Structures are given as structure tokens and as C-alpha cells.
Structure 1
Amino acid sequence: MEMQDQPCPIRDVLDRIGDQWSLLILQALAQRTLRFNQLSREIDDISRQMLSRTLKRLETDGFVRRTLFAEVPPRVEYTLTELGRSFLSPMQALVEWADTHHAQIRQSRRQARDIASDS
């Protein structure tokens, strides 16, 4: 495969982890292994369908490991893989940056909205 046939690495990765839910799921799993319902409670505004879909994508990309225990009823746990853990440091830097600059960004949005409404 030629280089131009491969997706841009930055876009390819950020498209997957930069969605609305992936970072929240990874942040929740940074603390400990969780079951589906525990994750659902940790991220209370995510639908069960979206949680399931996002977990599958994170598993496909190698960030999360899903373990099924053959019990009655079956038990499924989610944990970060080595790759997922390696992302925690850059993710935390992004979270801290967003937290530090959130008020400034919101102010800029308000100013832009005010200018647009005056036009």
C-alpha cells in the first residue's frame, strides 16, 4: 500500500478518540476495571446503545479489553489495555488544558455570537 493510500495518522486516531464519549469512558476506566452498568452510571448522560457502540470501537482500536466471564448470569468487565494506559498521560494533559481554558473559550464564543447577532 502506498503512503497516500493510508489515512492520516492524526486524523485517523483523533476521529476515533475525539468523539463525545471516548475520552469520558477512558477516563472512567483509568481508575479501575468496570462492568457495563458501572460505566453507564459513571457517565450518566450516555445512552446504553452509545456506550455499547463506543466500547466496541475502543476495543477494536486496542484501547479497551472486554472480558466475558462464563457465569450465570454472564459478567462482562472492561479495562484499559497497555495501549489505553499509554494514552492516559496525553489525555490528562488535554483534559487539564481544556479545564484551564474553558472559561476563555466560552467567553470567545459569547463574543462571536454577540457580534453575529448585531450584524
Structure 2
Amino acid sequence: MSAEREKAMSEADVKAWLEANLPAWKLEDGWIRRTYKTASWKGTLMVVNTVGHLAEAAWHHPDITASYAWVEVRLVTHSAKGITSKDLELAKKIEDVVHWQPGKEGKGLEGTPHNDQRFAYIKYD
């Protein structure tokens, strides 16, 4: 926990950063947000738990809304009353982990089967 209060970024800077680095994330109503579509409740819980783990490890906690086949993640730095580098860094880590597809890396891990709905997880965009 830093003793110095972080400064919120300008709306233009946040939008430019998101466009360059996380185009699926949007700045809306003072929050950066992203909705992940999942294949089922199982996938929804896996996304929520993943985001929860990353947020706790980072000590920066998002708002999360979950339904059967989607999860919305919203980030803001309340103490700065706006978006800071904390929000952007956590959003990037969430995106990297949730969208990780080991089968596309061509290494030892194959990833979940794409042709069998019993193993469906997230709907990758």
C-alpha cells in the first residue's frame, strides 16, 4: 500500500491506452470494463475465480457481475477517483490469463477440447 495517493489519468489517455493495448476493454461511466462470454455456469465460475485470484494477489479489487454465460469486470481506483496504472495493469493481467489458450502455443499443453461442449469454458473473441 503506497503512502502517496495515485493520480487519475485523463479520459483521453485511458482511451488511447485501451485502444492500443486492450481493445475489448472500454471506458464507461468512470470505469474500465470488459464482459467475458462463457459457455456455461462452470465457465462463469472459472472466470470469476481467476479474476478473484489475480485481484487479491495484486491487492486491487474490481467489481464483478456474473450471470449464467457472462462475467463483467469493472475497475477503478477509488482513492484516486478515476483510472490509474493499477487498473490498466490488472486489466492486462486478467485479459492475458482469462484468454490464455495453451493449445495455440504449440507446446506440451493442449488446452480444452473445442469440439465437445462438455469441456467448453470461455467463448474466445
* TM-score normalised by the chain length of structure 1: 0.29
More strand by percentage: 2
More helix by percentage: 1
Query: RCO higher in 1 or 2 (8 Å CA, sep ≥ 6)?
Result: 2
**Which structure has the greater CA radius of gyration?**
1
